[in-house]
Amino acid sequence: MEQAKHVVHDHYDAEASKIGMWLFIFTELLLFGVLFVIYAVYRYINHEAFHLAAEELDSFVGAVNTVILLVSSMTIAMSTTSLQKKNKALTLALAGITLILGVVFLVNKYFEWGAKFDHGIFPGSEYLIENLSQGEILFFGLYFIMTGLHALHIIIGLVLIAVVMRKVYTGKVHAERAALLENSGLYWHLVDIIWIFLFPLFYLIH
């Protein structure tokens, strides 16, 4: 019976993985899509309060974070190309830069949120409920939910990239088996594009 042990074939299909990743991205878009719908509805009802509340946010920090994410999207794409060109060191370096940029984004976010908390602006706070209008409460509620959920996705993306880097390093992911890196890149682009919409909605529209 020894040979009969578990011999199911390891089936590798890069195309299938890619389709799977795209389908997963659809679900993510719908997840955020719901939040965008909620934002649209409440902005329509409370447009003045939303305008007022948006003044609180620092569009400079937001812009810096946008640039950071855009650059990180470029580096992860370059990392994929380097893997196809069989340059392992460059692949790892570029993926590493992506990782660092992602962390910098989170650090910025941390200070942004921290500043809000210092001003007493967080869901359910006394300051919020006593001093601000309902529209402003909704704005900040949505701000924390949407940027929070986005930050969670950044963290997932970072873990994913770290895992792929390890696999590139050990040689499990290479030019002929690049699907995992390509798909992590796709996921990172998704995280990026969601931020591209979050940034103007919260920081820029007046």
Residue 6 or 206 having the CB closest to another protein: 6
- What x/- string results for residues 46 through 85 when contact with another protein is judged by CB under 8 A? x---------------------------------------
**Which two tokens mark 175?**
């030019």
Query: Applying CB under 8 A, does 44 fall inside the site for another protein?
Result: no
Query: Applying CB under 8 A, does 120 fall inside the site for another protein?
Result: no
When binding is defined by CB under 8 A, the residue of 114, 120, 123, 200 that contacts another protein is 123
The label of the residue with tokens 């997840």 reads: 31
When binding is defined by CB under 8 A, the residue of 62, 135, 157, 185 that contacts another protein is 135
Query: Applying CB under 8 A, does 35 fall inside the site for another protein?
Result: yes
Those residues whose C-beta lies under 8 Å from the C-beta of residue 182, and which sit 6 or more positions away, are 14, 18, 80
The C-alpha atoms of residue 66 and residue 150 are separated, in whole angstroms, by: 13
Q: With contact defined as beta carbons under 8 Å apart, do 111 and 65 qualify?
A: no
Q: What is the 8-class DSSP label of residue 204?
A: I
Query: Applying CB under 8 A, does 5 fall inside the site for another protein?
Result: yes
Query: Applying CB under 8 A, does 89 fall inside the site for another protein?
Result: no
Closest CA to 192 of 55, 98, 113: 98
Query: Applying CB under 8 A, does 171 fall inside the site for another protein?
Result: no
CA distances from 183 to 61, 87, 115, 155 (A): 29, 19, 35, 16
Closest CA to 164 of 97, 92, 114, 89: 92
> Using CB under 8 A as the criterion, which residues of the chain lie in contact with another protein when the complex forms?
1, 3-9, 11, 13, 15-16, 19-20, 23-24, 26-28, 30-35, 37-38, 41-42, 46, 122-124, 129, 133-135, 137-138, 141-142, 144-145
